[in-house]
Amino acid sequence: MDTESTYSGYSYYSGRSRGSHRHGERSRDRHKTRNKDSRSEKSVTINTPPAEPLLGDSAVRGEQVQDDNWGETTTAVTGTSEHSLSQEDIVRITKDLEDSVGLDCRRYFTLALAVILGLLVFLTPLAFLVLPHLLWPEKLQSCGTACEGLFISVAFKLLILLLAVWALFFRPPRAGLPRVFVFRALLAVLVLLFVVSYWLFYGVRILDSQDENYQGIVQYAVSLVDALLFIHYLAIVLLELRQLQPCFSVCVTRSTDGEIRHYNLGQLSIQRAALAILEHYYCDFPVNNPALLSASKSRAAKHLAGLKVYNVDGPGNNAAAAGLVHSQSRAMIAAAARRRDTSHNELYYEEAEHERRVRKRKARLVVAVEEAFTHIKRMQEEEQKKAPGDVMDPREAAQAIFPSMARALQKYLRTTKQQHCHSMESIQQHLAFCITNNMTPKAFLESYLTPGPTLQYSRDHWRARQWTLISEASVTSGLKDGSIFLLKCVDFSLVVTTKKIPYIQMSEEYIDPKSHKFVLRLQSETSV
């Protein structure tokens, strides 16, 4: 259908930040169930911010979608013919556009709110100080050095507050979280209420009555700035310090190959804990290699293919169909248990053979690389001036010695099923890097012998910048003992379980240093 092709085009352009629609098959049912899932399980998406500005991107995308639609389906608007874009599709497009624009709008909206609040907070003390001079200058009592001291303290405190607020709230965010950050929202509300109450007080007691005591007004402004600094201190404790003390031990399991890691986290909300876990994931977990699982999948297929059920009594009636299926599966399980299964034998010999092959290839590889490294020599400074001919920079040197080890390396990577992780370009780059830094052949080979963390590989492998957090509890609620949530990406999911670190009751016992006495177990013999 025409609509199918347009959506595959759409997903091609959507690329990074719209990864949830990446796979292009946009049948209506799938979309509907996705919405239902998100409502029941509270699945929300975590977006890492892409490089280019999103508003511009979505606007361009929107136009392209429109162009594709208008180009191919001329009867789009009526919704009456079978080959047209129906109302549902239009609604879906607009909803998607709103979603994408909504996400960016939300980000810029919160940023704008924060900036306005910051300006309000910053300018309020200054306004308190300046307004009396503007409104009733002749009635004001001049105050001397005490006031000047207070002016200086206000100035410095405001400067510190400015820097501190920038450091805590306005640095570029590392990731986009699904729900609003509860503590920040609460703090913003608190600050707003505070400043509003100060303005009210100021308006009633000072502006209306046109108070002449300027020192009192200045002290009022100073008290506001002090209180703001204390609120900032509270913000630091809530946002930064509270989560530092470890309180929970989380166990993160990757669903495809069962890699398990344990981390200690403090008191965090589920979405912030998920963010912390993902940052650890990129650094600690070895890269996900789906090629390693093909063996177990083929074994599983062989188990199922071994037995077939024949219904000898002829086609039964529909009422007994469910019972029939149940008894069929039980018969299959019983037969599978009874037959002499030699698949464990095959597995054992296959694994031994594979290991032998890997070791052999590794030996060949090590020898080839060591030999290749002996072909180049670093030139010293004096030699460089003497013999300018045939001098190579690291890249050319790498390209010169690469062919002699390329075959052995490629065979080794194929045997260990890593060949898609490393491209020839990346290998040559790594070789040039090792040559520049005087590394030994063993150091060059280490990154190919063991799979490293996901960050080490090229960006193709760092595919999952779009993660979905699936949790039964609300994602802004805190971590509790026994809370379980999933972090799903395209290829696999990470299952996270939490356990509380137990309360430790410690008591003391004093040992007198003189109380250490010993006897020999051997009986001593004394002659009398």
Partner 1 sequence: MSYPIRQVTMKRHKSNEGLGFSIRGGSEHGVGIYVSLVEPGSLAEKQGLRIGDQIMKVNDKVFDKVTHAEAVKVRDLVRSLVLSAL
For partner 1, the binding residues (CB under 8 A) are: 519, 523-528
The dihedral over CA atoms of 149, 153, 156, 158, expressed in degrees to the nearest 10, equals -130
Nearer to partner 1, 437 or 524 (CB): 524
The least distance separating partner 1 from the CB of residue 515, rounded to whole angstroms, comes to 17
Nearer to partner 1, 1 or 519 (CB): 519
For tokens 């308006």, the residue is 203
Nearer to partner 1, 503 or 518 (CB): 518
The least distance separating partner 1 from the CB of residue 528, rounded to whole angstroms, comes to 4
- The answer to whether the beta carbons of residues 49 and 175 sit under 8 Å apart is yes
Nearer to partner 1, 209 or 523 (CB): 523
Nearer to partner 1, 504 or 520 (CB): 520
Nearer to partner 1, 322 or 520 (CB): 520
Q: What are phi and psi of 458, to 5 degrees?
A: -70, 170
The least distance separating partner 1 from the CB of residue 521, rounded to whole angstroms, comes to 8
The least distance separating partner 1 from the CB of residue 522, rounded to whole angstroms, comes to 9
- The answer to whether the beta carbons of residues 186 and 242 sit under 8 Å apart is no
Distance, CA of 391 to CA of 395 (rounded, Å)? 12
Q: Where are the alpha helices (DSSP H) in 293-451?
A: 294-305, 321-338, 343-373, 381-386, 394-415, 424-436, 441-449
The least distance separating partner 1 from the CB of residue 519, rounded to whole angstroms, comes to 6
Nearer to partner 1, 437 or 526 (CB): 526
Q: The tokens of 65 are what? A: 């979608």
The least distance separating partner 1 from the CB of residue 524, rounded to whole angstroms, comes to 6
Q: The tokens of 366 are what? A: 């090590």
The least distance separating partner 1 from the CB of residue 243, rounded to whole angstroms, comes to 58
Interacting residues of 21 by C-beta distance below 8 A, sequence separation 6+: 10, 11, 14, 96
**329: nearest Cα among 345, 308, 299:** 308
Output the CA torsion sign for 230, 235, 237, 241: negative
* Burial (0-12, 13-18, 19+ Cβ within 10 Å), 181: middle
